[in-house]
Amino acid sequence: MKKVKRKGKKSSPLSRRAFLTASAAGAAMAMAPGASALPSEASPTGTGRKTAPTRMDKGTQTVHSVCLACNARCGVRGVVKDGRLVNISGNPYHPYNMQFAPIGEETPVAEALKISSPVCGKALDTPSHIYSPYRLIRPLKRTGPRGSGQFEPIEWDQLIAEVSGGGKLFAHLGEEREVEGLKGLLAQEPVSKDDPGLGPKQNGFVFMTGRLQTGRKEFIDRFVKSAVGSRNRIGHTDICGLGFRMGNWALTGAKQAELKADALNARYILVIGANIYEALQPGINTYGAMVARRHGQGELDFAVADPRATRASAHAKEWIPVKPGRDGALAMGIIRWMIENQAVNRDYLTAPNIKTAQKRGFATVSNATHLVICDTHHPDDGAFLRMGHLDPTLGDPKKTSPMVQSPEGTFQPAEETTETVLEAKGVIRDASGTPIRVKTAFALLKESAFSHSLSDYAQFCGVPETQIASVAREFSSHGPRAAVTQYHGAGNYVNGTWAAYAVAALSALVGSIGMQGGYLHGGGKAGSPHKGVFDLKGFPGRKKPSGVALSREKASYESTEEYRSKQEKTGSGYPSRRPWFPFSKGGLCVECLSGMDEQYPYPAKVLFTYLFNPVYSIPGGYRFKETLSSTDKVPLHVSMDVAINESNIYADYIVPDLSYAEGHHGWLTPHAPALTFSAIRTPMVRPLTEHTKDGRPFCTETFLIDLAKALGLGGFGDKAIPDSKGTLHPLNRAEDFYLRGFANICHNAGVPEASPEEVRFVETNYPIATHKKILPEDQWRRVCRLLSRGGVFEPYEKGFSKGRFTKATPHVHLYNETLGTTRNTLTGIRFSGVPGYLEPTDSTGVPLSRADKEYPFTVVTYKSRLHTQSRSLWCDRAMEIQDENHVEIHAEDARRLNLKAGDRVNISSRSNPEGISGTARPTDLVRPGCIAISFHFGHTQFGGSSLTVKNGARAFLGGESIMDGSRLIPTPGYTKGLNMNDVSRLDEHLARTPLVDPAAGIPDFSSTRVRIRREQKNC
């Protein structure tokens, strides 16, 4: 058998030892800001082997850009030799690479180049990732049934003609159906004749995105929303970490989703479901490093709550081995203890308005003292009691001030008083004398917390009462310098909305929201890319999408014909066929696919997927193989990707895309607490895909531009981008868009022109300089300054005044009125508007622990510090160190089951009784009753399987080296390990689609219960 050879690949210049040194989390974390030794650019190692060329070597080019090996957005400095990316390190202008203490933007580039800064191990593997021989370089069309793995390369013009025009595209395969191309969806008619409110026919075009960041996001939205007019550009926030975001979303009244403890100034951090030393955003060389350093200096203590002892647990004051899916019980136990022991910050909580709160020294105000209508007879039951409810002459109550109770017992508008009662319940009469029952938000929170005893909570979450109490005591003892950092694990499961809300509320109870050292969101961009010199959003003929998303996110079920007709027939409009999610932050790829499967609320016609692998990445994603195989449910599927993956193997066409290092442009904002910046991503090397006749690379932008032109859509072509005077400029290639966005950022952030030396630096190092003529010279010189520094970065300190974050969202919601007045569309029952503990259930409300009690273990997943997302198989060095994951089981459980390290075991669930296989690894680092399986492995594609690709040598970067005739030669090691998502629980009451949270559509990563048994050895 022919073995895979890497075409054009020189032997790795970066030795394994150098890589290990460079990526050792501990070493990186211990590095102080400004440290000058950078392992990835170090001198020869002393082993006799040479390290990679560095920026100081002759004949190299250096480019500052932004990493995309994960979503954290660190700066990178790419070193290019002979046109090939050979080395990656950090960008010292970028605060992420320097633990928030970057070099000043006034530092000349020549000086900056002498300064090194770290990146993590994942970033170091960028070169091996981008030069994988399995990279696609030409468009593919399937030549067999969907999923059969049969493709052939086609010409670009054929791709554009067929996807835009449709027709009998697969007649040669015996498929006589007429495929509706995008052109067919442009007609002016509703997507559903039964319910025009669902929007226009254009909503039949669904564009689902995997890893998508700003820059490309705006470009894709321009095509999908503004040019075609579809409502359905659906992200993947749900699988990315919607759970914890929903907690913050509820707490901030749908204003912010990314709040975390201020690692630079907090005195105590309670880390819940966040892997801070291996995979957080910001990344491990930023947030994890800051926590480790400050902990080492005695400035910070922290505790880690997680079913698995993450690496940070080694430094933590304590590991709290909470049961999976029970973080809400832990948080509510802490809340109960804090209320019972008067450990909440009353000074903060009793402030009725922002002015009073600020006078008391706080950055934000909570609604703890605001009165909520708790009266089923009242039409606004669940809403805040407002002036307008008491005095109808004031008009719409929603526009009037909420009411509070004074210590004297009178009711006052919150805006007009300074002293209030925190815990009030009572009856108030409106102008007509009708009594209205009311309670303060705090009283409702207390009721929720006191609905279970501390020992109940201890039992629910599997953490001893004494430990809950000691954590609560410690947390509250630090006042506004204590905060939580929660992530994926804290709420990514059914009912995770309330769990993550409870976790987020802990910071509110100590008054730390918006305080330096407390719970903060990022400061956003330093300069808008959208307007200023050019208008990147508006253009003649721009469409405005309307109707309902296929995922039913942010949409009201009660406005539909389905609701109205059910109400007419039965007196109740409930249940809906599938859940609706008006309160969700959105990005619900799981419910979008489930909707596609059930053709609900309308059928999809054309599906585009971008860097998206749902079959692999969604818990229970295996269910969607059936959906993607069906030409009725998905009549046309086009994927844009760098590879053939487990999902686009079902696509009709695959468009080759560029990796971040050779073709992505963007303007990235921070996830980090309090930071404000616009970091710039720009290609470091030239595109590796083939190109059109006029020399543009095959990629997402070229594809969408050419489709738009073929369809005659506005916003693309020669007259597409208006400037501030109304003159229209062309959009014929990616750089036409992105360079103008960069010019806007320079304009809005006041970026000065670069010096002649720095213009020369950019023009001789950056591939984008080839297109500098797109901008007038003065704008180009400013863009050179921006590119040379990799962005515009404001100092951390600038975000604060008197210890308060100046951009803090002022209103903190301990009762969320929108959530509290929204109904579960499957039951018609109103949701609770306060944090609480709710056990994960199926859609009928049956707890999964009861439904699946014959499955004794709960399985959880996590990310390792070396591997990236699902494309990590191509990261040679990481694979050299770890090429497989394991079934991590507590040593006691292993002993009981007579399992030893290395035993092959089968893991099965109620939804996948056949199960999946892996290798057992007994450990003390997961709680008993749990199994932990890391992500990254258990693949079948990316070069893991043999496929049939006619003329395949033309289709892949590796050319002949990976083809044996029409057969793709696989790399067998790529299929090692297992993927927890392949056994995840499906909802038997909802068409066997993956489980989701009823309020927000959060998929469930924490409730699947499994059996484990040793596999028979073959003799």
DSSP 319: E
Q: Measured from the CB atom, is 74 or 640 closer to ligand SF4?
A: 74
Q: Measured from the CB atom, is 74 or 387 closer to ligand SF4?
A: 74
Q: Measured from the CB atom, is 31 or 731 closer to ligand SF4?
A: 31
Q: How far apart are CA 712 and CA 709, in angstroms?
A: 5
Other C-beta atoms lying within 10 Å of the C-beta of residue 844: 12
Q: How far apart are CA 88 and CA 131, in angstroms?
A: 14
Residue 737, φ and ψ in degrees, nearest 5: -85, -55
Nearest approach, Cβ of residue 73 and ligand SF4 (Å): 6
Choosing from 64, 73, 370, 664, the residue that interacts with ligand SF4 (CB under 6 A) is: 73
What single letter denotes the amino acid at residue 980? Answer: M
Choosing from 29, 52, 69, 212, the residue that interacts with ligand SF4 (CB under 6 A) is: 69
Q: Measured from the CB atom, is 70 or 533 closer to ligand SF4?
A: 70
Nearest approach, Cβ of residue 663 and ligand SF4 (Å): 17
Nearest approach, Cβ of residue 32 and ligand SF4 (Å): 18
Residues 6 or more apart whose Cβ sits within 8 Å of residue 868: 69, 70, 122, 125, 129, 875, 878, 936
DSSP secondary structure, 199-230, as one string: -BGGGGEEEEESS--TTHHHHHHIIIIIII--
Site string for ligand SF4, 458-477 (x = CB under 6 A): --------------------
Distances (CA, A) of 636 to 75, 177, 834: 38, 11, 43
Choosing from 18, 31, 63, 120, the residue that interacts with ligand SF4 (CB under 6 A) is: 120
Cβ distance 758 to 109 under 8 Å? yes
CA nearest neighbour of 742 among 709, 696, 791, 708: 791
Q: Please identify, among the stretches 64-72, 131-139, 383-391, 583-591, the one whose residues bind ligand SF4 according to the rule CB under 6 A.
A: 64-72
Question: Which 793-852 positions form the footprint of ligand SF4 (CB under 6 A)?
Answer: none
Q: Please identify, among the stretches 68-76, 191-199, 378-386, 707-715, the one whose residues bind ligand SF4 according to the rule CB under 6 A.
A: 68-76
Q: Measured from the CB atom, is 72 or 272 closer to ligand SF4?
A: 72
Structure tokens at 789: 């520094």
Structure tokens at 933: 């399986």
Residue 429, φ and ψ in degrees, nearest 5: -105, 140
Give yes or no for residue 74 binding ligand SF4 (CB under 6 A): yes
Q: Measured from the CB atom, is 70 or 1000 closer to ligand SF4?
A: 70
Determine the residue with CB nearest ligand SF4.
Answer: 283
Q: Measured from the CB atom, is 66 or 812 closer to ligand SF4?
A: 66
Q: How far apart are CA 867 and CA 125, in angstroms?
A: 9
DSSP 691: B
Residues 6 or more apart whose Cβ sits within 8 Å of residue 393: none
Nearest approach, Cβ of residue 941 and ligand SF4 (Å): 22
Q: Please identify, among the stretches 115-123, 189-197, 224-232, 367-375, the one whose residues bind ligand SF4 according to the rule CB under 6 A.
A: 115-123
Q: Measured from the CB atom, is 232 or 869 closer to ligand SF4?
A: 869
Q: Please identify, among the stretches 114-122, 682-690, 854-862, 948-956, the one whose residues bind ligand SF4 according to the rule CB under 6 A.
A: 114-122
Nearest approach, Cβ of residue 131 and ligand SF4 (Å): 17
Nearest approach, Cβ of residue 388 and ligand SF4 (Å): 49
Nearest approach, Cβ of residue 279 and ligand SF4 (Å): 8
Angle of helix 465-477 relative to helix 454-461, nearest 10 degrees, comes to: 100
Give yes or no for residue 122 binding ligand SF4 (CB under 6 A): yes
Q: Measured from the CB atom, is 102 or 918 closer to ligand SF4?
A: 102
Nearest approach, Cβ of residue 72 and ligand SF4 (Å): 4
Other C-beta atoms lying within 10 Å of the C-beta of residue 810: 17
Across 42-77, b (16+ Cβ under 10 Å) vs e yields beeeeeeeebbbbbeeeebbbbbbbbbbbbbbbbbb
Q: Measured from the CB atom, is 222 or 867 closer to ligand SF4?
A: 867
Choosing from 25, 119, 679, 931, the residue that interacts with ligand SF4 (CB under 6 A) is: 119
Q: How far apart are CA 203 and CA 233, in angstroms?
A: 9
Give yes or no for residue 72 binding ligand SF4 (CB under 6 A): yes
Cβ distance 320 to 434 under 8 Å? no
Q: Please identify, among the stretches 120-128, 206-214, 405-413, 545-553, the one whose residues bind ligand SF4 according to the rule CB under 6 A.
A: 120-128
Radius of gyration for the alpha carbons in the chain, expressed in angstroms and rounded: 28
Q: Measured from the CB atom, is 41 or 562 closer to ligand SF4?
A: 41
Question: Which 279-338 positions form the footprint of ligand SF4 (CB under 6 A)?
Answer: 283-284
Q: How far apart are CA 874 and CA 963, in angstroms?
A: 18
Q: How far apart are CA 442 and CA 500, in angstroms?
A: 18
Choosing from 29, 31, 38, 123, the residue that interacts with ligand SF4 (CB under 6 A) is: 123
Q: Measured from the CB atom, is 119 or 502 closer to ligand SF4?
A: 119
Give yes or no for residue 67 binding ligand SF4 (CB under 6 A): yes
Give yes or no for residue 743 binding ligand SF4 (CB under 6 A): no
Cβ distance 484 to 873 under 8 Å? no
DSSP 697: B
Nearest approach, Cβ of residue 286 and ligand SF4 (Å): 7
Q: Please identify, among the stretches 62-70, 532-540, 726-734, 805-813, the one whose residues bind ligand SF4 according to the rule CB under 6 A.
A: 62-70
Alpha helix ranges (H) inside 770-906 = 777-789, 817-820, 848-851, 876-881, 891-896
Please give the angle made by the CA atoms of 565, 569 and 573, to the nearest 5 degrees: 55
Site string for ligand SF4, 359-378 (x = CB under 6 A): --------------------
Nearest approach, Cβ of residue 76 and ligand SF4 (Å): 7
Q: Measured from the CB atom, is 875 or 978 closer to ligand SF4?
A: 875
Structure tokens at 767: 């591939």
Q: How far apart are CA 98 and CA 119, in angstroms?
A: 10
Q: Which residues pair with 729 in a beta bridge?
A: 721
What single letter denotes the amino acid at residue 889? Answer: I
Distances (CA, A) of 263 to 38, 260, 510, 594: 23, 8, 17, 39
**DSSP three-state, residue 582:** coil
Nearest approach, Cβ of residue 128 and ligand SF4 (Å): 14
Q: Which residues pair with 413 in a beta bridge?
A: 403
* Site size with ligand SF4, rule: CB under 6 A: 12
Structure tokens at 449: 């917390």
Give yes or no for residue 579 binding ligand SF4 (CB under 6 A): no
Nearest approach, Cβ of residue 112 and ligand SF4 (Å): 18
Choosing from 25, 29, 70, 331, the residue that interacts with ligand SF4 (CB under 6 A) is: 70
Q: Measured from the CB atom, is 70 or 335 closer to ligand SF4?
A: 70
**DSSP three-state, residue 260:** strand
Residues 6 or more apart whose Cβ sits within 8 Å of residue 870: 613, 616, 617, 645, 935, 936, 939, 942
Q: Measured from the CB atom, is 233 or 867 closer to ligand SF4?
A: 867
Nearest approach, Cβ of residue 280 and ligand SF4 (Å): 8
Nearest approach, Cβ of residue 123 and ligand SF4 (Å): 4
Where do contacts with ligand SF4 occur on this chain (CB under 6 A)? Answer: 67, 69-70, 72-74, 119-120, 122-123, 283-284
